[in-house]
């Protein structure tokens, strides 16, 4: 009966009353949205709007259901800002700055930056934020870590480069004078290494491992410099009393003596038949070794001892460095410097012309400078510089790679390998216990010999060739002397200990283990 009465009442309503009830139901649905409509609103609104809508729908009592909790943690729309992710202080600060129509001067801008930094406010931060920022990583930025130049692998594959931090061979060199301004080591094209030890000059044949004494000075004189000719036939010996001696390496006989300097000759350089010698009094002499009157020119521009001297490969320019912190570039046709560089703040001993770029010169300074500068000798411009952090004693360019190796004294006594022109450091090699005084590169361009005041001579395979070719045959022979030569050297060393002071092996002790891997 009740159901029948309800149906009767509904059927008895007029059309006007039905339309009014339909309009009222629509308004109620708009005021009190359904759960599905509520979830759509929560996806587009802020967290505060979601909370208020949920409260209106839930009513006064009862804890929220799990479905309601999940709707609160939903993601925000990408077109609607998220207040929780905004830095309100930075936003208000940036809005105030943007409203200023008057342009600010540099002092005002700097002041605003200091104030913002002190208050922990970011000046260039975006005002609106649409999502939470990702948490900051405590690790290093991998983009920076992996963008650094990586070292070549030291595996034995033929296609990969090996850079060992241990020497290929170690020889004793007792009596080596500990003097930064001398040049007592040179490697010839014939694979013969010459070293000056106090008053004597010794030749080490890198192919066979034999050691021979070339000459020995008398009195108080000592060896100050050595330099081979380009073909490795003759050796020039500079002495502390100002003489230059020319020796034939094959016959081991002195060809001539050229006198005239008033002080020791610490450095020399050959250009075909012309030998240039740098003296302690700051003068540079050019000697023509073919004629009796050997002095052909005197170059005077240094006020301190000349300790660096090298001709360019084409013989057009001569570079000199001295204890007066100057670098002079001389034209072969003139006795006046073409230009002078004063950027170094210590003695300049390390000089090296690039074999791959004719007009590129590298120069290195001493303990109070510690820089390597690169010069374009055509435009006289300084191209770049390296702060090595240590005294620079020599520079050797690679003939195969775009790299150079520098030797150093205080405080690290190491070798450093650099890439050019990026000037990024490839590797540091701890070389000696004391400062590295002299270096020389093998004729195949792969091995660098170093001599230090710790009385040791070491060989480093720094520029190993990319492939096994005939080019590396001499270097391989140099580092693989026959075992029989080592035993013979041991015997001769024992004879020297019994009183034979003229034995070369008493100065270069080959009886000790030489290969260190």
Q: Output the pTM of the full model.
A: 0.63
Angle, helices 35-44 vs 47-58, to 10°: value is: 160
Expressed in percent and rounded to 5, the helix, strand and coil fractions of the chain are 20, 30, 45
Q: How confident is the model at residue 498 (pLDDT cuts 50, 70, 90)?
A: very low
Q: What is the pLDDT of residues 89-140, one digit of tens each?
A: 777 666 666 655 566 676 777 777 777 777 766 666 665 665 666 665 555 4
For the chain, what is the mean pLDDT? 77
Alpha-carbon span 266 to 307, nearest angstrom: 6
Tokens at 344, concatenated? 């170094």
Q: What is the pLDDT of residue 133?
A: 61
Q: What is the pLDDT of residue 327?
A: 97
| Residue 263 clears pLDDT 70, i.e. is over it | yes
Cα Rg of the chain (Å, integer): 41
Q: What is the pLDDT of residue 62?
A: 53
Instruction: Say what percent of the chain tops pLDDT 90.
Output: 56
Q: What is the pLDDT of residue 503?
A: 37
Q: How confident is the model at residue 466 (pLDDT cuts 50, 70, 90)?
A: confident
Instruction: Determine contact, residues 241/261, Cβ cutoff 8 Å.
Output: no
Q: How confident is the model at residue 242 (pLDDT cuts 50, 70, 90)?
A: very high
Q: Say if residue 17 is preceded by a cis peptide, omega within 30 of 0.
A: no
Q: What is the pLDDT of residues 44-68, one digit of tens each?
A: 444 444 444 444 444 444 555 555 5
Kindly state the average pLDDT of the residues 433-453. 95
Instruction: Determine contact, residues 198/177, Cβ cutoff 8 Å.
Output: yes
Alpha-carbon span 85 to 96, nearest angstrom: 20
Angle, helices 88-99 vs 106-119, to 10°: value is: 170
Q: What is the pLDDT of residue 252?
A: 92
Q: What residues have CB less than 8 Å from 446, skipping those under 6 apart?
A: 461, 462, 463, 464, 465, 472, 475
Q: What is the DSSP string of 215-254?
A: EE--TT--EEEEEE-TTSSEEEEEETTS-EEEEETTTTEE
């Amino acid at each position: 009966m009740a159901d029948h009465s309800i149906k009767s009442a509904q059927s008895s309503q007029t059309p006007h009353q039905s339309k009014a009830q339909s309009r009222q139901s629509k308004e109620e649905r708009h005021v009190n949205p359904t759960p599905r409509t509520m979830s759509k609103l929560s996806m587009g609104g802020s967290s505060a709007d979601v909370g208020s809508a949920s409260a209106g729908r839930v009513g006064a009592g009862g804890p929220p259901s799990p479905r309601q909790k999940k709707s609160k943690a939903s993601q925000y729309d990408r077109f609607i800002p998220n207040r929780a992710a905004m830095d309100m202080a930075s936003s208000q600060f940036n809005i105030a700055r943007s409203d200023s129509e008057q342009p600010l001067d540099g002092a005002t801008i700097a002041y605003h930056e200091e104030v913002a930094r002190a208050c922990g406010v970011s000046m260039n931060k975006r005002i609106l934020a649409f999502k939470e920022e990702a948490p900051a990583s405590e690790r290093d930025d991998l983009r920076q870590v992996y963008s650094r130049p990586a070292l070549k692998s030291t595996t034995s594959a033929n296609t990969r480069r090996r850079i060992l931090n241990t020497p290929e061979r170690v020889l004793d060199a007792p009596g080596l004078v500990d003097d930064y301004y001398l040049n007592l080591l040179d490697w010839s094209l014939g694979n013969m290494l010459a070293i000056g030890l106090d008053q004597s000059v010794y030749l080490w044949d890198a192919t066979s491992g034999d050691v021979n004494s070339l000459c020995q000075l008398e009195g108080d004189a000592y060896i100050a410099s050595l330099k081979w000719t380009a073909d490795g036939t003759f050796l020039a010996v500079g002495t502390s009393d100002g003489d230059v001696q020319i020796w034939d390496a094959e016959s081991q006989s002195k060809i001539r003596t050229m006198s005239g300097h008033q002080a020791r000759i610490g450095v020399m350089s050959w250009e075909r038949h012309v030998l240039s010698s740098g003296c302690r009094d700051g003068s540079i002499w050019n000697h023509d070794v073919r004629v009796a009157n050997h002095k052909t020119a005197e170059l005077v521009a240094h006020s301190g001892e000349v300790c660096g001297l090298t001709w360019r490969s084409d013989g057009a320019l001569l570079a000199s460095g001295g204890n007066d912190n100057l670098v002079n570039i001389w034209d072969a046709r003139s006795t006046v410097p073409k230009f002078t560089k004063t950027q170094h703040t210590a003695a300049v001993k390390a000089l090296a012309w690039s074999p791959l770029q004719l007009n590129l010169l590298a120069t290195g300074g001493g303990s109070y400078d510690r820089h390597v500068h690169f010069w374009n000798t055509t435009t006289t411009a300084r191209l770049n510089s390296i702060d090595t952090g240590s005294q620079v004693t020599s520079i050797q360019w690679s003939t195969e790679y775009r790299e150079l190796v520098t030797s150093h004294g205080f405080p690290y006594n190491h070798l450093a390998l650099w890439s050019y022109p990026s000037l990024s450091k490839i590797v540091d090699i701890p070389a000696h216990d004391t400062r590295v005084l002299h270096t020389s590169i093998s004729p195949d361009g792969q091995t660098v010999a170093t001599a230090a005041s710790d009385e040791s001579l070491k060989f480093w395979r720094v520029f190993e060739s990319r492939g096994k070719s005939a080019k590396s045959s001499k270097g391989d022979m140099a580092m693989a002397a026959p075992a029989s030569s080592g035993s013979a050297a041991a015997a001769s060393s024992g004879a020297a200990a019994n009183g034979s002071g003229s034995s070369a092996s008493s100065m270069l002790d080959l009886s000790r283990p030489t290969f260190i891997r």
